[in-house]
Structure 1
Amino acid sequence: MRIGLQIPSFTFGGPDRIGPEFGRIAREADQAGLHSLWVMDHFFQIAMVGPPEEPMLEGYSALAYAAALTEDITLGTMVTGVPYRHPGALVKTVTTLDVLSGGRAWLGIGAGWFEGEARGLGLPFPPVAERFERLEETLQIAHRMWRGDESPFNGDHYVLERPINSPPALHRPHPPILIGGGGERKTLRLVAEYADACNLFDSAELPRKLEVLRGHCERAERDHGEIEKTALTNLPDGASVEQAVDTVGRLAGLGIEHVIFSQGAGQDLADLLGAARERSAGIVPARP
C-alpha cells in the first residue's frame, strides 16, 4: 500500500515562514518513507480549505523547491487545471521536474473547475465541454512528446508545429499521468484511455466510481489492473496512527492502492503517516 501527503494550505505564520515550513514538511515526508507529495495547482485558496486571500504557492515552483530538498518521494500537482497551462509548455515543465528530481515527477491533470481564480487572474476558462476537449488533446500531446514524436499536432484547440522535448524525461516510459476527478461519462473514460492513475475522493460513491472505471477499461480494451487507483482523504485533528491505519485498510478493501492524506491547517502529518505506512505494510488492496 502506498501512502502520500497533500499540502493544500500554507498558513504557516507569514510569508517568511512558508519556505522553511514547507521545506521541513517535504523533508519529513521523504524521511518517513511516504511515496508521494502533492500540492494543489491553484492560484487562489479554494473555499473548502479557506478564503481566497489565504497564501497559495504556484504548484510547479513549489514542487521544484521540494525536489531539491528530498531524495525519494515522488512529486505532483493534484491537479493541474488544463485551461491554465498550454500543453507543450506543461509537458516541458513536468519533464524538467522529472529530470531535476531524478525521475520523481507525476503529471496530475484535470479539466479544472475554479472559475473565480481564472477570472481573477485573467486566465482562460472556457465552457466545461471545451475544457474536456482541451484535456483530451493535452493528454494526446503528452503521450506524443514523451515518446519523442516531433511531428506536427493539429488539434481543434492546439497546434504544435514541432513539439521537441529535450532532454527527455527520466521516468520510463514517461512520468505517470494521474487524472483527478470522478466524472463518470468523461473523466473516467479519459483515465481508461490515457492515464496511469486515477484520483477519487474518499466518499460513499467510491465503489461505484471504481466500477464505472472498470466498464470504461473494458470498452477501451485496457487492462484495469494497469491503472493505479488513488484516493484523497483526510484525518480529524488529533488523529492517531491507528486511525490512519484504519483509513488505509478501509480504502484498500475497496480497491484503492495509493491513499493520499490531505493535511489540514494546523496539522503535521508526515511522521504520523510514516508510522502508519510501517503498520500498513501488509495491507493488500482488494481487486474489485
Structure 2
Amino acid sequence: MEFAVNVPVCAGSSEYSTLAFCEELSWTDQRDFAVDVEGLGFDGLAVPDHIMAGAGPTTEGLSTLAGLAGATEELYLYPKTFNDQLRHGPLLAKALAQLDHISGGRLKVGMGAGWKQDEAEAFGYDWPAAPERLRRMEESIEVCKALWTGTDVDYDGDYYELDGADGRPHPVQDPHPPIMVGGGGEQFTLRIAAKHADTWNYWGDLDMLRGKLDVLREHCESYDTAFDAIEKSWFARCVIRETEAEVEELLDAVPRFRSENLDDDEFHLVGTPDQVAADIERYREAGFEEIVVEFVDFPGTTGAELFAEAVAPQFD
C-alpha cells in the first residue's frame, strides 16, 4: 500500500475548520512540510487545485507542484485533483509534460470536473452543469494522452480542436504519467474512470465506497477494461496521537471530526496508531491500494511522524 500526504493550498476558518493550527498558509510552510514528509518515508505528495478556498491566501496548485518538484527528490507528485473547468486542456498537457521532466518522471496526474462553484465564478469562469463539465474533462484527458504521445496531433471534439499540434517534449514516463480520475458520480465520473483512468480516487465511508466500486466494475465490463488494473485510492483527513486522551485533546481543536459531526457517508482516520491502522486495514481488504491523508496539525509534523513510525510500517 502507498501513502501520499496532502499539502494544503489554503487555510483559515472558512476551509471547514480542517486545519487546527494554520490560520494562513505560506509557500515556506508547504515546502518545509514536503521536505519533512519525504524524510519520513512517505510515497507521495498530493496538492489540491483551488484558487480561492480558505479565509486566507490560496496558493495555485500547478506552480506549487513545480516548486515541490525542486524541493524533493523521490516522492511522486500528485495534483489531486486538477479542476478541469479552470484549465485549458491542451495547454495543461504541455505544462504537465514539462513538470514530468522537472520532477524526473515523478508526476501522477489527478483530473476532476471541479465542485467549488463560488471560486470559479469569483474568477470569472463559467460553471455549466456537472454533465457538461465531465464531458469536457473527458476530452481534456483524451487531448492530454494524444499530445503526450504525438507530434502532429489532430483532434475534433466538442470542446477542443487541434490541427497538427506538436506535444513534444513528451513526458519522461512512457507512454505518459498515470492518470487518476477523482469523484464518485456513478453515471459519468465512474464511466470516465473505467475508460481512461489508471487510478480512481474518492473519499468517504467504506459502505458507500463498496457501492461505488460495484458501479466502477460494471462500467469496466461495458468497456472491456480491466477493473483490477485500476488502482483504488481513498482520501481522508487524519487526527492521530499516541493516546486516546491526546486524541481527545486534538479533537477539541477540530471538533468537526468528532463522529457526531460527520455526514452519514463521511469517514476520516481518527484515533491512536492502532485504531488508525485497523481502519486502514478495512479499506485495504476492500481493495484500496493508495491512501491520501491530510494531517489536521499541518504545518506541524507530529501527526505525520507518528503515522510514519507506527502506522505505515504495518502495511509494507
In the alignment, the residues of structure 2 paired with residue 227 and residue 201 of structure 1 have an alpha-carbon distance, to the nearest angstrom, of 16
Contact 2:24 2:56 in 1 (8 A): no
Mapped partners of 1:278, 1:159: distance in 2? 48
- Contact 2:240/2:276 (8 A) holds in 1: no
Structure 1 stretch displaced more, 156-165 or 61-70 = 156-165
Q: Distance in 2 between matches of 1:243 and 1:5?
A: 19
Question: How far off its partner does 1:4 sit?
Answer: 1.0
How far off its partner does 1:265 sit? 5.0
Q: 1:214 aligns with which of 213, 217, 239?
A: 217
Count of residues in correspondence between the two structures:
273
Amino acid at match of 2:272: S
Q: How does 1:236-251 map to 2 (within 5 A)?
A: 236=239, 238=241, 239-251=271-283
What's the counterpart of residue 258 of structure 1?
Answer: 290
- CA drift of 1:279 comes to 2.4
Paired with 2:297 and 2:9, the residues of 1 have a C-alpha distance of: 6
1:202 shift after superposition: 2.9
Residues 218 and 9 (structure 1 numbering): CA distance in 2 closer, same or farther, change over 3 Å? same
> Quick one: which of 30, 41, 50 aligns to 1:22?
30
Distance 2:126 2:202 in 1: 25
- One-letter amino acid of the structure 2 residue matched with residue 30 of structure 1: E
2:64 to 49, 62, 65: 62
Is contact 1:88–1:163 with CA below 8 Å preserved after alignment? no
Contact 2:240/2:272 (CA < 8 Å) preserved in 1? no
Say if 1:105 and 1:21 are closer, same or farther in 2 by CA, change over 3 A: same
**Distance between the aligned counterparts of 1:102 and 1:177, measured in 2?**
17
In 2: Cα distance, 1:97 partner to 1:223 partner: 29
CA deviation vs aligned residue, 1:235-270 (integer Å, no higher than 9, x gap): 225343323322321210111000111222546343
Name the counterpart of 1:154.
156
What does residue 286 of structure 1 align with? none
Deviations 1:191-215 (A, max 9, x none): 1101110001131301111111111
For 1:120-135, list aligned pairs within 5 A.
120-135=122-137
Q: Which residue does the alignment assign to 2:312?
A: 277
Deviations 1:216-239 (A, max 9, x none): 111110011211100001222534
Q: What root-mean-square deviation, in Å, do the aligned CA atoms of Structure 1 and Structure 2 show?
A: 1.8
Shift of 1:112: 1.2
Query: 1:125-166 CA distances to partner (integer Å, 9 max, x unpaired)?
Result: 222221111011111111111222522211111112233222
> 2:100 maps to which residue?
98
- Counterpart in the other structure of 2:175: 173
Q: Which residue of 1 is the match for residue 262 of structure 2?
A: none
**Bigger radius of gyration, 1 or 2?**
2
The 2-side partners of 1:27 and 1:151 are apart by 38
Unmatched tracts of structure 1, length 5 or more: 46-51, 282-288
In structure 1, which of residues 177, 194, 197 is the aligned counterpart of residue 196 of structure 2?
194
Are 1:25 and 1:270, in contact at CA under 8 Å, matched by a contact in 2?
no
